[in-house]
């Protein structure tokens, strides 16, 4: 007769189910959702001032107050836009007359300098280039009074001519820096050597080989210079006035005073910002491409 097993069976603890691992598709969807959510929140944060500008610019003067900045207009009107345009239109065209030639000339000169500094290695070239860029790091406020005296001694007329010359001079260093990096990383040495073998000198090599390949660099420098010149206020306030100065001076006069017309000021700010906005919209994708072309080795 077999022995009887008298041991008491122990209760078994159920094994907890293993957590389900998120598949690659689910992780990708989650990451995309988080990314787009953050981008949307950032976009809302950035567009809040634009919303205030827009709604205030369409309000009559009695509604354009600080306490009601977030409210939509009860009576939509274009009076503020008409007032802002009448006040800014003469100086708006002067800003174009300053920004366009200053941007083009400084970009061309910067292209030439960038090619020389990137391809012509001579003793002390790095030191010369460093000194060449030294003007970028001098605060504008430190040179305003000597610059005003210099332009006066040179006989430059206050307003557009003086501002064009000053912006060209101050734009050459940054344009040269951008083009030097662009030519160093994107123009193959073989092309330059091939031109040299064919008997092309430095100027001919630049004109026939390098310049046709410089479009991305020109897009970057032109956008940079146009935006900098258009938004300048410090040079304008020292070297011009409301009668012959750019739009930033007129916008300051429109927004100044004891009784500020907020609706006209907001409309004027939008009008003054439209040119740079259009430039970025039209040339934006080439701007990013030009920056990347000058930062990566091909």
Distance CA 135, CA 151 (A): 17
Assess whether pLDDT exceeds 50 at residue 144: yes
Residue appearing with tokens 């930062």? 295
pLDDT in tens, 87-134: 899 999 999 999 999 999 999 999 998 888 887 777 777 788 888 778
Q: Using one digit for the tens of pLDDT, what is the confidence trace for 194-210? A: 777 777 777 888 888 88
* Nearest CA-CA partner of 246 in 142, 162, 190: 162
- Domain span at residue 121 reads 98-232+272-293
**243 inside domain:** no
3-state secondary structure of 63: coil
Query: If you write DSSP's letter for every residue of 104-163 in order, what string do you get?
Result: HHHHHHHHHHHHHHHH---TTHHHHHHHHGGGGGS-HHHHHHHHHHHHHHTTPPTTHHHH
Residue 54 within a domain: no
The answer to the question of residue 237 being in a domain is no
The torsion of the CA quartet 278, 283, 288, 292, rounded to 10 degrees, works out to -150
The CA-based angle 153-154-156, given to 5 degrees, is: 110
Task: Indicate the number of domains in the chain.
Answer: 1
**How far apart are the C-alpha atoms of 144 and 138, rounded to whole Å?**
11
Q: Which pair of tokens denotes residue 92? A: 């708006």
More confident residue, 68 or 10: 68
The C-alpha atoms of residue 221 and residue 177 are separated, in whole angstroms, by 10
What is the per-residue pLDDT across 237-282, written as a single tens digit (0 to 9) for each?
989 888 888 999 999 888 776 567 888 888 999 999 999 988 888 8
CATH code, 196: 1.10.3720.10
Residue at 187 is within a domain: yes
């Amino acid at each position: 007769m077999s022995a009887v097993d008298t041991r008491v069976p122990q209760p078994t603890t159920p094994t907890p189910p293993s957590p389900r691992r998120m598949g690659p598709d689910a992780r990708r969807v989650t990451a995309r959702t988080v990314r787009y959510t953050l981008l949307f929140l950032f976009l809302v944060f950035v567009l809040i001032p634009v919303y205030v500008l827009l709604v205030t610019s369409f309000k009559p003067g009695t509604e354009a107050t600080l306490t009601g900045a977030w409210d939509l207009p009860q009576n939509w009107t274009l009076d503020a836009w008409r007032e802002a345009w009448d006040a800014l239109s003469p100086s708006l065209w002067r800003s174009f007359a300053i920004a366009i030639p200053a941007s083009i000339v400084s970009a061309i000169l910067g292209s030439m300098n960038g090619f020389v500094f990137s391809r012509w290695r001579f003793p002390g070239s790095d030191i010369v280039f460093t000194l060449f860029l030294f003007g970028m790091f001098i605060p504008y406020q430190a040179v305003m009074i000597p610059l005003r005296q210099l332009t006066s001694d040179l006989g430059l007329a206050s307003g557009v001519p003086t501002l064009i010359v000053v912006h060209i001079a101050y734009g050459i260093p940054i344009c040269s820096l951008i083009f030097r990096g662009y030519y160093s990383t994107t123009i193959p040495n073989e092309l330059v050597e091939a031109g040299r073998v064919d008997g092309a000198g430095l100027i001919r090599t630049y004109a026939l080989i390098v310049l046709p390949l410089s479009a991305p660099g020109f897009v970057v420098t032109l956008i940079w210079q146009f935006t900098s010149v258009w938004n300048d206020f410090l040079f304008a306030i020292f070297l011009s006035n409301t009668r012959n100065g750019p739009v930033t001076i007129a916008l300051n006069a429109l927004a100044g005073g004891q009784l500020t017309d907020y609706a006209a000021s907001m409309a004027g700010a939008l009008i003054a910002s439209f040119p740079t906005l259009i430039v970025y919209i039209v040339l934006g994708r080439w701007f990013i491409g030009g920056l990347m072309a000058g930062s990566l080795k091909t």
